[in-house]
Structure formats: C-alpha cells, structure tokens
C-alpha cells in the first residue's frame, strides 16, 4: 500500500466523526485564544505528492551551548511536560497527520507556486481546526489549551522534523538517548547517576521504523534505507546528532542517539574538564606538531572522538587532512578557518541491486592516492587497520585513528585481529613489525564510575628490532584519576618533541 493510499484510508476512517470534513477555518469557540503562528526559519524538503513532507531545520546547538544551566534545566522540564501531554493522544495525532498529509498533497496539486513558509502556517492552522473539531465531536468538550498546543507542536514535528525525538534534540543536558522499542525510552543526562525514563516517542514500533526510515532516505549525504533488507543504520542528523538503529536481531527496534558537544572542545577545554592535566596537554600538543602517529583507545562513550577532534585542532592549517568515517562525526570541514584543506570521506552501503558499496578498507586505500598530509580514521573496526598502518608508515606521519580497547596495552591485540581480517595468511610477526614502525603513541581514555572522562594512560611504542611490541609508559594509570607522568620518553621521541618547542 502506498503512502497516498494509506492517507486516503486514514482520511476515510477519520470522516466517521460527523461533519469532520467540513471543519471551519477557525475554531467554533471564537473566544478561545489560539496562540499566534510562529515564523520559522526552515528549509522545506519537498516530498513527492502524497508523501509526508520533511523540513530540515537548522540547528541551534551553538547558541544553546552558551546558555546557563538554568536555561537547560527549563528546556528539559518543558520537553518532559510536552511529552507527557501528548502521550495519551498518540492515536489522535496519527489520525490527524494522515488527514493533514492528504490535504497538503491536494493543496500542492492545486497551487504549485505556494511559498514553503505558507505551507507551514497552513499546516499549523489546519491542525488547530481539526483538533478543535475532534474535541467537540468525540469528547463533547475541547481539550486543555496546553494539551492542544503540545499536540500541534507534535504534529509539526512529525511532518517537518524528527517526530517525538524533536523535543529532546536541543536539550543541552542530554548526552545519549536510548529507545528500546517505541515506549521504552531513556535519557542519559550529564552528571546524572542513572538514565531517566521518558514517555514514548512514537505510537508503536512500526511508526518508529517508518520515522527512522524516512530520515534515512533524506538526512544523510546519500540515501540510506532502514528496512528488512537493511536492518541496521548509522546516520548523522542535520543537527550533528549520531543515530544508530537496528532491528530484526533485537526483540524490538532499537535506536541510540549520541548528542554532540555544543561547541568546539579544544585541549584547553579538556584541561578545564579534568580530562587531561596541563602537563599532559602540553605533551599532546607537541606530539601532534611533531607529527607523531597516534591511536586513541577507549570504550563506548569514553570520549574518543571528542579527544581526537581536540588533537586535530592543533594541526597546522596548511596541512591537507583526509578523514574516513562510517558516519561523519569529526566534522572538521565546519572549521574552515583552521582547516581549509579537508576532505571528508564516508562509507557507502550497497544499493538495492547490491552495487556501489564502499567500505572503510577501500576508502583508506583510495585516500593514499589523494596526497594527504594526514589520514584520520574515525574508528578502526576491521580490515582497514592494515591500510591505516601502511598510511602511518609510508610518509603520512601525524595520522590518527580511534579504536575500541579496554586498555592501552590491549590495542596491539585488537590491531592484530583486525589486520588478520584483511590479509589472510599474513604472519603476526609482520603485523607486529607494521605496528612498531607505524604507531608512536597510544592514548587510552576512560570513563570513571562517577561519569568523569579522563586519560588513563599514554604509552609510547618503543622502536626496537626485537619484533616484540614494547611500551614505555610516559603517563601511567592512577586510581580513579588522570594519568600521572611516570617515565621520560625515549631519546628519539624526546628529540622530536624538543624540535617543536616542548621543554623536556
């Protein structure tokens, strides 16, 4: 069944309410004050006739970052209030959206030259009209004004934004959002000791899949799908949020959204956060300027990408950087003043015919032909590890990547396993030799039980001829704190750091 056919069926069902099709252009009770229609700065992405339209709204993350904690708390409370108000009316909202989508389609066919902003105002006005009629015909009384306003906001979000997720996307207190089915929704707030459960984001799981699939087709650099043929999805939303969705292998569709930092996080900021010590920050700045090859390791949510971006902000603006990611996260191209010569590469899924796939390994191999000064892999998770080591050891000094590992010492084992995936039969001694020659520093970042993020160790990879991977713990682990200086770097590394100005 097509979207338009679904819309007609829902439209017919809605008409079972007496006289709903003849809803007047203003609410029956003229004494009730309708909130004024806001002027929104949006860019409408036209959908084909009969489909629900999408509007991509520019993010306000930058301004919200500078707001006070009180403002963030007020925004959180307002979002939760609106979510609670609409939770009991999700079926109504679905019916109204079906009706409104059909009327939008009819309106577009009859007035092709209408302005996009006019359509948004038309949708809001129509939402109020239909909503008032619903309250009068079905319940004998209109809903509370606050409830009506929350429902109208939700209708606009479903048509033009990210539906039930939209309430939370600009909340600066949220770090992660977990959806384990439409009605099992949790927020991970900064500083909170445990996740917070909130009202459902969609009416049911089918609506959740439909919503994510709609955005998969429109929000990324290229069209992606989220369906039975492609049951997993990684997507960067226009607001900078990182969305991961998976279904069929889980009991219910599962969505995880990681919220972006609202401002550029520099090494100075990392010192203020307590992630690094001042001495460690000076050491890392010098290591970047000395073009050391660096691997940033840590667990999920430890802050690897944030630290990697802070390191890259120390790179000279004249250098050519190529980044390779499954889902764009580093977003270096946004910092044109500091990094004007950046190429961002993103993996690509195969199309419905099974063609056109580009993997991390293939992109890593291709980027070596693009004369990069530095190659940066957002995250090494497979056979691309071998090509990353080749890039680091074949003249692209200063390259960096992140990797999942529970300790700095555990990184070599992960790299061995990944390299073996892409080069069957390659002896481990050869892989170890690659690692020793290519990698200069391994940084491990860790999230403590109190949710603070700290660099727990910085190891130098010793350049030996023994064939064994040996480490020099320049900054070593301490109990529940930032790593402390322990051992002088090797003479070779110390000389490189002195050349760029580090007093060591």
Residue range of the domain that includes 193: 3-258
Backbone angles phi, psi at 468, to 5 degrees: -95, 140
Tally of CA atoms within 13 A in the half-sphere of 457 that contains its CB: 22
Asked whether residue 154 falls in the same domain as residue 239, the answer is yes
* Alpha helix segments (H runs only) across 111-178: 116-139, 145-160, 166-169
Predicted local distance difference test score (pLDDT) of residue 193? 78
Residues 430 and 423 sit within 8 Å (Cβ to Cβ)? no
Shared-domain flag, residues 275 and 254: no
CATH number at residue 317: 3.40.50.300
- Are 369 and 470 in a shared domain? yes
Quickly count: other Cβ atoms within 10 Å of residue 245's Cβ: 23
| Residues 155 and 198 grouped into a single domain | yes
Yes or no: say if 373 and 322 are a contact pair by the CB < 8 Å rule: no
Q: Are residues 241 and 286 in the same domain?
A: no
Number of independent structural domains in the chain = 2
Beta sheet of 174-180, edge-to-edge order? 196-198, 185-189, 174-180, 254-258, 242-246, 232-236
At which of 236, 258, 280 does a domain end? 258
Q: Is residue 477 in a domain? A: yes
- Return d(Cα 257, Cα 496) in angstroms, integer: 40
The reply to whether 251 and 314 lie within a common domain is no
In this structure, are 98 and 26 located in the same domain?
yes
The pLDDT of residue 128:
87
41 shares its domain with 24: yes
115 and 225 co-located in one domain: yes
Domain limit, last residue, from 227, 258, 289: 258
Are 345 and 459 contained in the same domain?
yes
Low-confidence ranges of the chain (pLDDT < 70): 1-75, 111-117, 134-142, 219-223, 261-263, 352
Q: At which of 228, 258, 288 does a domain end?
A: 258
Classify residue 504: in a domain, yes or no: no
Q: How many angstroms separate the CA atoms of 12 and 402, rounded?
A: 54
Q: pLDDT at position 8, please?
A: 41
The mean pLDDT value of the chain amounts to: 80
E strand residue ranges, 374-467: 374-380, 400-404, 441-447, 453-461
Q: What is the per-residue pLDDT for 336?
A: 83
Distance CA 436, CA 469 (A): 6
Clarify whether residues 313 and 228 are in a common domain: no
Q: Which two tokens stand for residue 262?
A: 């609202």
Residue 55: which CATH number?
3.30.450.90
Tell me the two tokens of residue 227: 């369906």
> Is 180 a member of any domain?
yes
Same domain, 463 and 495: yes
Residue 369 belongs to a domain: yes
Domain assignment present for residue 320? The answer is yes
């Amino acid at each position: 069944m097509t979207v338009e056919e679904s819309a007609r069926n829902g439209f017919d069902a809605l008409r079972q309410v007496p006289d709903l099709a003849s809803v007047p252009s203003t609410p029956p009770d003229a004494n009730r004050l309708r909130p004024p229609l806001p002027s929104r700065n949006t860019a409408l992405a036209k959908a084909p006739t009969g489909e629900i339209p999408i509007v991509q709204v520019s993010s306000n993350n930058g301004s919200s970052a500078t707001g006070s904690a009180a403002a963030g708390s007020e925004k959180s409370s307002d979002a939760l209030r609106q979510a609670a108000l609409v939770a009991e009316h999700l079926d109504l909202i679905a019916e109204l959206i079906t009706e409104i989508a059909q009327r939008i389609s009819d309106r577009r066919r009859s007035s092709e030259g209408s302005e996009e902003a006019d359509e948004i105002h038309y949708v809001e006005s129509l939402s109020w009209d239909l909503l008032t009629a619903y309250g009068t015909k079905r319940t004998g009384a209109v809903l509370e004004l606050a409830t009506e306003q929350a429902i109208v906001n939700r209708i606009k979000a479903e048509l033009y934004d990210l539906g039930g997720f939209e309430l939370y996307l600009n909340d600066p207190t949220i770090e992660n959002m977990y959806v384990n089915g439409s009605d099992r929704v949790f927020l991970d707030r900064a500083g909170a000791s445990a996740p917070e459960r909130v009202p459902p984001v969609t009416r049911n799981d089918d609506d959740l899949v439909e919503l994510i699939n709609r955005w998969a087709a429109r929000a990324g650099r290229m069209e992606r799908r989220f369906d039975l043929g492609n049951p997993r999805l990684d997507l960067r939303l226009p607001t900078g949020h990182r969305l991961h969705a998976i279904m069929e292998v889980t009991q219910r569709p599962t969505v995880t959204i990681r919220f972006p930092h609202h401002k550029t996080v520099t090494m100075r900021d990392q010192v203020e956060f307590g992630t690094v010590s001042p001495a460690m920050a000076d050491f890392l700045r010098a290591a970047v300027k000395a073009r050391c090859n660096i691997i940033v390791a840590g667990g999920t949510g430890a802050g690897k990408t944030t630290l990697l971006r802070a390191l890259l902000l120390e790179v000279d603006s004249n250098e050519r950087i190529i980044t390779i990611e499954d889902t764009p996260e580093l977003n270096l191209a946004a910092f044109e003043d500091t990094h004007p010569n950046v190429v961002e590469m993103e993996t690509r899924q195969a199309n419905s015919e099974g063609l056109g796939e580009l993997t991390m390994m293939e992109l890593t191999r291709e980027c070596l032909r693009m004369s990069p000064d530095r190659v940066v892999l957002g995250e090494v998770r497979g056979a691309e590890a071998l090509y990353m080591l080749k890039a680091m050891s074949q003249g692209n000094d200063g390259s960096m990547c992140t990797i999942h590992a529970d300790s700095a010492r555990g990184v070599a084992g992960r790299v061995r396993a990944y390299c073996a995936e892409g080069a069957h039969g390659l002896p481990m001694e050869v892989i170890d030799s690659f690692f020793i020659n290519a990698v200069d520093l391994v940084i491990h970042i860790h999230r403590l039980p109190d949710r603070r993020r700290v660099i727990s160790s910085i190891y130098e990879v010793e350049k030996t001829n023994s064939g064994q991977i040996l480490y020099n713990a320049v900054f070593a682990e301490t109990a529940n704190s930032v790593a402390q200086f322990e051992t002088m770097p090797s003479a070779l590394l110390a000389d490189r750091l002195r050349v760029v100005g580090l007093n060591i």
